Structure formats: structure tokens, C-alpha cells
Structure 1
């Protein structure tokens, strides 16, 4: 998937001349954690986020540095901090260094950018034109849509083949020691595991297979160190992984 597949195209924005109070009220009214800042020509010149309002004089949260630290950092840094905490217009609060992506940026690369720069949103550009925004909420909506798509119906034989193929592709899965039987979408897992963490991973792999309605854990854990044999834990009252 690419940025164009998940981005929000109806983008609410502000200008550098927007009052900070108006920008905050806009964010609250539309349940937004950030806004792009566009100049009069529609060019993206900054990003405004909740984090830009954390250090504010109105809240008494502006930065107070020791004289020594202030001396080391110099007057420019102090002036910058003062502007951020006292500015009445977006131009003095916004972040000017904008990290953006193009429409064909893969979601993998996009998420890597979010993680690397510890940001929650990224503008999507077509040349110099802002055409959308991708936020964490957009990624969650895409995740739900992908999950629903995976719930397509499959017959028992196809389900078993899909599970076995998935386990064979994972290095952590002792596929040669695991038995899989499927009846009416309910999967019985039997066999031996040698690490307790494999139990949950195997169940997750099965639950993620389209068409699976329930998972019965009948795996036996053998501790390689002691040789202790531990049977499958008691299943929950519903005994299964409920289908969506």
C-alpha cells in the first residue's frame, strides 16, 4: 500500500497569520492533533501540532533555564523559546522543518519516517502541492479495512494449506513438530513446542488466517533444559478465538 491509499484528502489548514487561539479551537473542534500551515499561495511552510503548545506562558510551563545553561546556549536559543511560548500567531509557534512524503511513498517507508522523527502525521505532496495528510488514525483505519478483507471465506482444506505454508515460512515455528486439523473453520493445533512463547505465536498465526473461526490449543511444551513436559493450558470458557 502507498500513501495515496490511506491519506485524508480533505485537509484543514491554517496560515502563518492565524491566531494561535483560533488554531487551537480549530484543532479541538475537528479532533485534530496537528495542522499544516500554508502561505497565501497555498505552499506548505510549516506544521502545527499539540506539542507546539506544551510550553506556553499562559500555562506557566515555559522553559526556565539556569544562567549557566542560558549562557552556553546563547541568546538566540532563549529568544526562540520566548517566541514559542508567547507568540499570538501561528508563525511564531509552528515547526518550519516539514517532513513530507509523495503519493507513491510506501506505507513501510512512511511508518519508518514517523518512527525515526517521532511524529504523528506527515503531509503528502504532489510536487509543491499539498494533496493529503497521513496520521496514525489513518493507519489504524487502513489496518481495520485490511483485517476485514482477510476475513474472506475459505474451505477447510484451503485454510489448512494456508496455515502450513505460513508456519513453514517462519523460522521460529517448529513446523515439523506441529499438527494442524481443520473442521468447519475450527483449527486443532497439536504437537510439540520447545519454548513457551511459541504457543502464542502459533495461535496468532492461525487466528490471522482467513476463514478461521476458532483455535483449539492442544500443544505440549517440552522444556529442553529440564525435559519437563507441560500440557496445553485449560482453554477459556469460550475455548476459542472468536471470529469477527
Structure 2
């Protein structure tokens, strides 16, 4: 699953000098969980999430089981995004396969960068939307790809619990391989069987 196929674009970003209130307003207005943070030159320097913005604004509960930093003097709490952001974010390229990157790096939002500019962003919700689809949707997408490649209905595709079953004849191993790849690359397909 390539980044450019599921990313959201254009991307809502925030300057590192923005106030925490401005970033919180943007996050809530745009219904996103995190924002890429840019420096004055427009380069990606970090990510700021809902949690980053809340961390210094919610008073500590002495009876809570979760340890947090003790309440600081309100005059000392952070005021700008640069003070609470996570620097050096994990990024990806538009043509990169992203699902494994997000899971292995345990990130919730993944900026997509091309030529030094943020061109998109991917959230776990985007991955979930692309991967968790019904068998009928998967079969229709596979069938469309096969029909486009074959110039008509040369093969049939059915999907059962995520496993694609392809029927039809293949003149050679090269075409068989191409058809397998076309079916395997549909997001959400767990396996492909021919015959």
C-alpha cells in the first residue's frame, strides 16, 4: 500500500512558533490527531499531537494510577508548539509502502515528504480504512484490475475471508505472475490462490 494512494493532502501544518492554543484550535477544527511542525523555512522539524498539547495543561490527579509530571507553576508551562512537539519525526515518501512502517515505528501519524516538502500525511485511520474491507469490495477491486489488464473478462476473482481465488487460464508463467501481483497488491488481501 503506497503512501500516495491513501495519504491526506493538502496537509494542515503548524509553525513551531505557534501558540499551543492555536495548534489545539487547528487540531480540533480539522479533526486530526497530530500536525506536522514546520520551521521558518518550511522544513519539517517535528510533530505535535493532542497528547503533546494536553500534557502540560491537565492538572495532575494525585489518586490516578498514571504517573505524570507534577503540576508546574502556570507561568512556567509551555506556550509554543516547539516546546512540546516531538522532534525528528518518522517520515515516508509518496511511493513507499507504509503500513509496516507505521506499525513497526509505533507512530499514529506519518508525514509524507517529497523534495523536502510535506506533501501528505497518513494516520492509522487511513491504514485501517484501506486494509479492513469486506470480501465483496476486495473481489470487485481485484476483478477491475484483472479486467483492465486483460482487456476484458479473462479471469474471475472471488474473495473469501480475505483470500482471493482467481479462476481462468494463463498462456504462460509470466502472465500468471502478473495476475498474481495484481491481486496481491490490493490492500486488504491476505493471500491469493489460483485455480
TM-score, normalised to structure 2, is: 0.62
Give per-residue Cα distances to partners, 1:17-45, cap 9 Å, x unaligned. Answer: 11101111111111110000112221111
Among 144, 151, 156, the alignment partner of 2:140 is 151
Mapping for residues 11-26 of structure 1, pairs under 5 Å? 11-26=11-26
Secondary structure at the counterpart of residue 87 of structure 1: coil
What CA distance in whole angstroms lies between the structure 1 residues aligned with 2:116 and 2:123? 20
**1:129 positional shift:** 1.2
Give per-residue Cα distances to partners, 1:58-105, cap 9 Å, x unaligned. Answer: 3213514xxxxxxxxxxxxxxxx99xx821110101111211011111
Distance 1:23 1:140, change over 3 A: same
**1:145 positional shift:** 7.2
Distance 1:204 1:54, change over 3 A: same
CA contact (8 A) 2:20 2:53 kept: no
1:63 and 2:69 are equivalent in the alignment: yes
CA contact (8 A) 2:8 2:121 kept: yes
Secondary structure at the counterpart of residue 105 of structure 1: coil
Q: Unaligned 5+ residue runs, structure 1?
A: 65-80, 164-202, 211-244
What CA distance in whole angstroms lies between the structure 1 residues aligned with 2:132 and 2:100? 20
Greater Rg, structure 1 or structure 2?
1
Matched length = 145
TM-score, normalised to structure 1, is: 0.51
Q: Unaligned 5+ residue runs, structure 2?
A: 61-67, 144-152, 167-195
2:4 maps to 4
**1:209 positional shift:** 5.8
Among 103, 110, 121, the alignment partner of 1:115 is 103
CA RMSD for the aligned pairs? 3.3
Please identify runs of 4+ aligned residues in structure 1 that moved more than 4 A. 144-147
What CA distance in whole angstroms lies between the structure 2 residues aligned with 1:205 and 1:140? 14
1:93 and 2:84 are equivalent in the alignment: yes
Give per-residue Cα distances to partners, 1:204-223, cap 9 Å, x unaligned. Answer: 357x669xxxxxxxxxxxxx
Among 204, 218, 226, the alignment partner of 2:161 is 204
**1:142 positional shift:** 2.5
What CA distance in whole angstroms lies between the structure 1 residues aligned with 2:119 and 2:162? 37
Higher relative CO (CA 8 A, sep ≥ 6), structure 1 or 2?
Answer: 2
